[in-house]
Structure 1
Amino acid sequence: MGQTLSEPVTTKESSVCQSKLYNVASCAMQGWRISMEDSHTQLLSCPDDEKAAFFAVYDGHGGARVAQFAGMHLHKRVVGNEDFAKGDIASAIRNGFLKIDEDLRNDEETKEQMSGTTAVTVLIKDGKIYCGNAGDSRAVLCEQGKAIPLSFDHKPTNDEETQRIVAAGGWVEAGRVNGNLALSRALGDFIFKTGEHIKPEEQVVTAYPDVVEVELTRDHEFIVLACDGVWDVLTNEQVVWFVRNRLASGVTPDKICEELLNRCLAPDCEMTGVGCDNMTVVLVCLLQGDTPEEYLERVKRKSIVDEHEFGELYQKPPGGSMPNSEAELLKSIQQQITMQLIGRMDDYGLDDAGDSHSHESDDIQEIDDEDTDKKEEKSEEEEKKSKEDFVTPSQSPESVEDKSSAQTLGDDAPPSEFMVPAAAIKDDTKKE
């Protein structure tokens, strides 16, 4: 955790750009940190290849220079690589990361600095998404409401990362490389890249990226790239839910980015430090030929489950709650569904209570009082057990009856509409 200010800098630098294929917005905020060390790139078409789009987020540490340098030049190293011309985009991304690291080592302003940056990049070309990543910034794809990770954090405690670090002569202490750096891959940080007889990808800290490839389809709605200032606060699923429901409500991408950073900003930095970092987000809306209006309608339409299925209106946010307007909208839809069901009951000759409209009581056999009492006692026991068997995902079964604790879960507590059986939660845990 770096040094922090007494008050956060909440001024935001936002930008938007659009083509027939993409509607892109970004937002960066210094927050509680004493300086802004993030950088980002958004290119609807690359200078050397108009069919290739490139987006990236760089989370610098030890200064902003490395992140800024990468933001200006990494895409050139990728697109300009000979493998790119051959159609081997993944190889071009890997080579581009290593080449920009060489450039940084030869740069007079960065080679002696103990500074570096994460790098998460998304390149889209010929119907494919390519994500290159080194560090713990992250990219997530929304596929019909599902959060599909395009990158995975590189932490020193990961088994594969630890093995490389130790093999190169380093060690992991308190979750950090040599007790210092909280990342195991990064651009720059040349103090951790001193092995003379080992390859760049074998160094204690390496710039060598993982690359994930995904075929682009109409089910893909948007991509979120962000630094850990966002991902330390919200999960992949929560961010996708946050963005998707605002798109479905007609909120513009730039406004969504700003709201997301506001959501992640901590009220103070006296406790864990979560929410006190620099924050940068790039939101890539995948228009795929639709106008922005058609795109928003498509997202909204996909956000609503076929009403004949009588499903939930929105995907449940894991550990999160709905904004009031969305909760009210869901409640309204549920009420309409209930009315339709009641109408169907009428068609079958049932009233609201589910009783037959026939009132030929003479044909009904009288029930013994003792049997009635037993059934009522059994019903009460089943009702009590049913209440005990239901908990919210954020509560343990023991805490359900404590209403005061349920009210103090904060904004991220799921609404009561999303109550699920405790047994189901236990089964999911076993499967994991």
Structure 2
Amino acid sequence: MGQTLSEPVIDKHSTTGGDERYLYGASAMQGWRISMEDAHTTLLKLGPNGESAFLLSTTATVARRRPILGEKAYSSGYYEDAIKSGFLSADAHLREKPEMTNDSSGCTAVGVLLTKDGTAYCGNAGDSRCIISSKGRAIALSTTTSPRTKLSSTASHRANNSSLPAEKQVVTAHPDVIKHTITADDEFIVVACDGIWDCMTNQQVAQFVHAKVVEGKKLDQICEDMMDRCLASESELGGVGCDNMTVVIVAILNGKTEEEWYAHVKNVAEETNMKSSPTLKKDYERNFEVSDLDIDADGTTSAIIKQALQSDEEEAAGVDIRADALEGNVAAAAAAAVAKKSEDN
């Protein structure tokens, strides 16, 4: 998780914007971490073809460099190829920086490109995530994979087999890209860092946005409320709710005015029983006792439980973990989850 402060920095840096196709709200908060590593970019007009782009990264270099726009594939309309080559180009740029030579931390990045013809291309490398809400149902636009969870650093490249192409490396900047055709049922897109997804599932994020619209909140306010909801009350909770947090919410107008869009999302919330905020993943009272299990001294199993509980499918499979284990005894919870899944199978 990294070092934490004695008190969280809860100042929010929020922005809003919009045009005839999209509205967006974005916000970032340092939280308990000793520095703010997240960076994001919101571009309603990306290039000559009228695309929009929303990018979030755990390094400002990637978020601000706009690597995709300069790719030949982009100007030719091959957006998936442009995203893949753009991520690799950003990685190469990082590795050329002298200050990155001995930096083994790496970074993650997720971005969604919205074309003028109504297609969304989402590229992701790491554990940030992107969803789209369609009639109240969260649809994943990105996949979280392990151990490919860091945009490659110089040290990571040395650890990999350099004779293999980027997409075959164990740790790689080569992104997974998901294509989605936007329909009249699609309401909004959420791009967020792992500080949010550690605490909320895809569907909980979608429900949270709907519930806040019912309360009369605007997109930037919803981003701020989501980060506050995920923020840990103290820093001794195993990292859950202690990370940097960034959220970008993009409203898909589909020909509606701003007022009509908010009214539409409110109606969806009422029709799908999402008028109230969800109980978050980190707050669940689980019925699987893990308090007597040993905790791995080096925490090597913590990644297992983190990956399992970030997945809606894994939760549906019956991985029952108490919230105190999730937040504190993460390694023990991982062992319990593995044992429980083995029993179920």
- TM band (smaller chain): 0.7 to 0.9
Q: Alignment partner of 1:207: what SS?
A: coil
Q: Alignment partner of 1:304: what SS?
A: helix
Q: 1 CA distance for matches of 2:92 and 2:236? A: 39
Amino acid at match of 2:146: K
Q: TM-score, normalised by structure 2?
A: 0.77
Between 192-201 and 4-13, report the one with greater CA deviation. Answer: 192-201
Aligned counterpart in structure 2 of residue 240 of structure 1, from 206, 211, 218 = 206
Q: Residue deviations 1:221-280, cap 9 Å, x none? A: 111111111110111111110011212332111111110000000000223221011111
Which of structure 1's runs of 4+ aligned residues deviate more than 6 A?
Answer: 315-318, 393-396
Q: Alignment partner of 1:250: what SS?
A: coil
Q: 1 CA distance for matches of 2:238 and 2:7? A: 16
Aligned counterpart in structure 1 of residue 274 of structure 2, from 296, 314, 325 = 314
Instruction: Output the aligned Cα RMSD.
Output: 2.7
Give 2:53's aligned residue: 54
1:9 aligns with 2:1: no
Give 1:204's aligned residue: 170
Q: 2 CA distance for matches of 1:284 and 1:33? A: 26
Give 2:135's aligned residue: 144
Identify unmatched segments of 5+ residues in structure 2: 288-322, 325-343
- Report if aligned partners of 1:237, 1:318 keep a CA contact under 8 Å in 2: no
Give 1:26's aligned residue: 26
Amino acid at match of 2:87: F
Give 2:42's aligned residue: 42
Identify unmatched segments of 5+ residues in structure 1: 60-66, 157-183, 306-311, 322-392, 397-408, 411-430
1:68 aligns with 2:57: no
1:288 aligns with 2:279: no
Which protein has the larger Cα radius of gyration, Structure 1 or Structure 2? 1
1:129 aligns with 2:88: no
- Report if aligned partners of 1:193, 1:204 keep a CA contact under 8 Å in 2: no
Give 1:366's aligned residue: none
The structural deviation recorded for 1:395 is: 7.0
Q: Alignment partner of 1:42: what SS?
A: strand
Of structures 1 and 2, the one with the larger relative CO (CA 8 A, separation 6+) is 2
The structural deviation recorded for 1:394 is: 6.2
1:277 aligns with 2:243: yes
Q: TM-score, normalised by structure 1?
A: 0.62
Q: 2 CA distance for matches of 1:297 and 1:214? A: 24
CA separation of 1:196/1:314 partners in 2, compared to 1, >3 Å: closer, same or farther? closer
Q: 1 CA distance for matches of 2:60 and 2:286? A: 43
- Report if aligned partners of 2:200, 2:280 keep a CA contact under 8 Å in 1: no
Alignment coverage as a number of residue pairs? 289
Q: 1 CA distance for matches of 2:260 and 2:279? A: 31
Q: Percent identity?
A: 42
Give 1:189's aligned residue: 153
Q: 1 CA distance for matches of 2:277 and 2:224? A: 20
Q: Alignment partner of 2:63: what SS?
A: helix
- Report if aligned partners of 1:192, 1:204 keep a CA contact under 8 Å in 2: no
Q: Residue deviations 1:155-198, cap 9 Å, x none? A: 22xxxxxxxxxxxxxxxxxxxxxxxxxxx243242211123322
The structural deviation recorded for 1:318 is: 6.5
Q: 1 CA distance for matches of 2:72 and 2:276? A: 45
- Report if aligned partners of 1:136, 1:227 keep a CA contact under 8 Å in 2: yes
Q: 2 CA distance for matches of 1:143 and 1:2? A: 36
Q: Residue deviations 1:256-315, cap 9 Å, x none? A: 11100000000002232210111111111111232210111111222333xxxxxx6437
